[in-house]
Chain A
Amino acid sequence: MEEEMHTDAKIRAETGAGSSPRGPGCSLRHFACEQNLLSRPDGSASFLQGVAEKSRERLIRNTCEAVVLGTLHPRTSITVVLQVVSDAGSLLACCLNAACMALVDAGVPMRALFCGVTCALDSDGTLVLDPTSKQEKEARAVLTFAVDNVERKLLMSSTKGLFSDAELQQCLAATQAASQHVFRFYRESLQRRYSKS
């Protein structure tokens, strides 16, 4: 397993987008923006910042596509918009959970629910679930998995860093156990919502 190139994508996610001075000593990567690309909504824009964000979008999209019953809505596009309010670590897992809840709230037919869980392995080999930003930065490896609620099958995995095969299996097992708590939380919050009516 090779180390991914270190990027400062996390920092970008926290601060708002702004114009970038391209002077010397500027550590911002290239970014591009396109506006008014959709005709239906009042406004739309696409912002491309480096490769990391694109891959995160692709991961979330692939997970959603695996779970949403797209055959019931041909010639229709389902758009999921995720806005980062604050980033305290485990960002990808949080995005996956938010996307799942939004799809359920919209009434999009799905074949299962999914949740994201992040594990961090530090230099001693101890496993930390749902790490903070500091723990992620100091970790030797950070692994994010998405599992579904039918048979806890793995839907998506995104890994960064060095780890052994046994450690991977250990993280997977811990993720599947932790996903139980997340699904129980989904169930409770949805029950609370339906009990109001």
Chain B
Amino acid sequence: MAEAASVAAECLAGCRARGARSVLGQVVLPGEELLLPEQEDAEGPGGAGERPLSLNAGARSRVRVICGPGLRRCGDRLLVTKCGRLRHKEPGGGGGGVYWVDSQQKRYVPVKGDHVIGIVTAKSGDIFKVDVGGSEPASLSYLSFEGATKRNRPNVQVGDLIYGQFVVANKDMEPEMVCIDSCGRANGMGVIGQDGLLFKVTLGLIRKLLAPDCEIIQEVGKLYPLEIVFGMNGRIWVKAKTIQQTLILANILEACEHMTSDQRKQIFSRLAES
């Protein structure tokens, strides 16, 4: 029994909370607790290290840290709730920055401010019901289009593709989306045109493609002239001159997830030749 007890103690010791800074970029698992930076300094190795003297003892300056997706506050620590890589973004102004977990997921959960591609499934009175891939269809009012008035209704049919953003998206209410920004301009949102192909990819790939310095999009643009719309709900709409080109582009984007950059460059160069 003594052996079992010591083994159990080892297990518990191994689960001690780690500092968030030390785990940046590594894979974290649900159930781990992370210490925020200023706590780490105070609870240093055995507390025997040097500590700077503060004039008002007892009052620690709390840095405001924003808890992003995959993390939850648990007392004064962060509890990891999703599996993925831990990331941190330095703050622009004051504050402690944002921590979040970069996870790979297929299922979308509506978030306020996200731009998504939806499919109109129903038209009931003044509201369109739009399927965005979440657990509930989002509602879209006919007045939320640029230049729409009660007399001048937008031309939206069931089955149309809509590119819009969420204004209300939380777990307690039905999500609501609009196709205008806060100034009343469309800014690229609205009904997506005829033809083209809509397909689904994982959410991680969309974020990768939308990153500011993504080579994939630049290379794809050099191949064929195309129109492309990315929805944060994992949907991509592509349109090129011919159907064959559209299908090639769709296959490349779907395969991008599993290819290394060398394989991708090979495929692009082969396509550029033909």
Q: Which residues of A contact B72 (CB under 8 A)?
A: 69, 109
Q: Which residues of A contact B15 (CB under 8 A)?
A: 149-152
Q: Which 5 A-B pairs have the closest CB atoms?
A: A173-B4, A107-B105, A112-B31, A109-B81, A110-B30
CA–CA, A124 to B104, complex, Å?
48
Count of B interface residues, CB-CB < 8 Å: 35
CA–CA, A179 to B11, complex, Å?
9
Residue of B nearest to A180 (CB): B11
Does chain B have a CB within 8 A of A191?
yes
CA–CA, A5 to B179, complex, Å?
63
Q: Which residues of B contact A174 (CB under 8 A)?
A: 4
Q: Does the CB pair B27–A187 fall under 8 Å?
A: yes
* Sampled A-B contacts (13; CB under 8 Å): A69-B81, A73-B135, A104-B29, A104-B82, A110-B81, A111-B30, A113-B31, A150-B15, A151-B12, A173-B1, A176-B11, A180-B14, A191-B27
Within 8 A of B (CB), among A156-170: 169-170
* Proximity bits, A165-196, B CB within 8 Å = 1, else 0: 00001100110110110010011001101101
Residue of B nearest to A74 (CB): B171
Does chain A have a CB within 8 A of B50?
no
Residue of B nearest to A76 (CB): B135
Q: Does the CB pair A152–B12 fall under 8 Å?
A: yes
Tell which of B11, B79, B106 touches A106, judged by Cβ atoms closer than 8 Å. Answer: B106
**How far in angstroms is the closest Cβ of chain B from A81?**
15
Q: Does the CB pair A170–B4 fall under 8 Å?
A: yes
Q: Does the CB pair B107–A107 fall under 8 Å?
A: yes
Q: Does the CB pair A197–B104 fall under 8 Å?
A: yes
CA–CA, A151 to B17, complex, Å?
11
Within 8 A of A (CB), among B95-128: 103-107, 109
Q: Does the CB pair B30–A73 fall under 8 Å?
A: no
Q: Which residues of B contact A194 (CB under 8 A)?
A: 27, 84-85, 104
